[in-house]
Amino acid sequence: MKIAPSILSADFCDLKHDIAVVEQAGVTYLHVDIMDGHFVPNITFGPSVVANIRKNTNLTLDCHLMIDDPERYVEDFARAGGDILTVHVESTKHIYRVLQLIHTAGAKAGIVLNPGTPLTAIEPVLPMVDQVLIMTVNPGFGGQTFIPNMVNKIQKLNTMKTAGHYDFDIEVDGGITEETLVPCRQAGANVFVAGSFIYSAKEPQKQIELLRHAAEK
Ligand code: DX5
Ligand code: ZN
């Protein structure tokens, strides 16, 4: 089980501090949201910021690429120090090629689906991914409300994972709190992204503890 704090809700002028805070709380993942203003209606940052983050932490950089045609940039993000590059199945005509490119660049490859995209869209690539990310909100912004219906999707994915003898991680992202984490874990998720729940609180370390306890329930 892993908690992956999303820096989308961190202070971008004080990232070094905000990363150190969650690192001290003992997490091993840092979730890095890349948005291009096309695939999603919001813009964050690109490979140069990821390279700067890399210089300041040894955490596993779990990069969620919300960008059109990610094949144009996956090598740059790998070179910048991204450890896991997760791409949206809706964002490219050539998902197989993108996942191959990520592996060739030396990173782990993840696939992610919007809430409205069925699992059949990713079935052909399940044998080659290291992680599957189930969006539990529509991507683009932090602080949105968890979509409860996605728990069924996690459950179905977990059944496919068992049937296919796959060993990818199942990650969830969007609206994760100490309450919503529980059904996701019960359905088979083992990596939990949380942005506003951690960073919008006065004491992020306490929030991480709450998530940990919820995961152990
Ligand atoms: C949303 C991003 C998330 C975001 C989650 O598009 O992919 O990673 O930071 O934020 P919360 O946890 O606040 O829903
Ligand atoms: Zn994300």
Q: What pLDDT, on the 0 to 100 scale, is given for residue 217?
A: 80
d(CA 172, CA 192): 5
Quick check: 109 and 102 in contact, CB under 8 A? yes
For residue 7, the ligand closest to its alpha carbon is 1
Q: What pLDDT, on the 0 to 100 scale, is given for residue 175?
A: 98
Host domain of residue 16: 2-216
Q: What pLDDT, on the 0 to 100 scale, is given for residue 19?
A: 98
Quick check: 160 and 115 in contact, CB under 8 A? no
List, in sequence order, every residue forming a beta bridge with 35; answer none if it has no partner.
66
Q: What pLDDT, on the 0 to 100 scale, is given for residue 158?
A: 98
The structure's pTM equals 0.98
- pLDDT tens digits, one per residue of 59-69: 999 999 999 99
33 lines ligand 1 (CB under 6 A): yes
Quick check: 204 and 21 in contact, CB under 8 A? yes
CATH of the domain at 49: 3.20.20.70
Residue numbers in the chain where pLDDT is lower than 70: none
C-alpha to C-alpha distances, 214 to 106, 180, 185, 211, nearest whole angstrom = 34, 9, 9, 5
9 lines ligand 1 (CB under 6 A): yes
For residue 62, the ligand closest to its alpha carbon is 2
Alpha helices in the chain (DSSP H): 15-24, 47-56, 74-79, 95-104, 150-164, 181-187, 196-199, 204-216
Look at the chain and report how many structural domains it folds into.
1
